[in-house]
Amino acid sequence: LVIPYLDTSLAHLPQPANACYAVIDRPEKPGNVGAILRTADAAGVDGVIVCGGTDLHNPNVVRASLGTLFTVPVAEAPADKAIAWLQGRGVRIVATTPDAT
């Protein structure tokens, strides 16, 4: 499988008014990243930011994304830089965690 390397910088993401981004923090399984990309595409998000964990160019991400890796704008950044980037653009941040009670 040969794929082009994507520009995964935060500056590459579109920045429309009222933007909606999905942020994935340290995903462990590449297949899950691909599934999240498909879901993000269906939900119409403006971009997906991956903070550590799985490389977006992992063959399992490419395969599981069913092509959405090439249609949904994606970026890779450390969590602190992603949060600062989002806050700097006035994006409201909502988070979930499996550890919440």
Q: What is the pLDDT of residue 20?
A: 94
Q: What is the pLDDT of residue 101?
A: 67
35-75 residue pLDDT tens: 999 999 999 999 999 999 988 889 999 999 999 999 999 99
How is residue 5 annotated by DSSP? Answer: P
The domain locations on the chain are 22-88
Mean pLDDT value of segment 27-42: 95
Which residues face 47 on adjacent strands? Answer: 21
Cα 95 vs. chain centroid, distance in angstroms? Answer: 14
* Sheet bearing 74-76, strands edge to edge: 21-25, 47-51, 74-76
Question: How far is it, in rounded angstroms, from Cα 49 to Cα 78?
Answer: 9
Global pTM? Answer: 0.89
Q: What is the pLDDT of residue 98?
A: 82
Percent of the chain with pLDDT over 90: 73
What superfamily would CATH give domain 22-88? SPOUT methyltransferase, trefoil knot domain (3.40.1280.10)
Specify the 3-state DSSP secondary structure of 99. Answer: coil
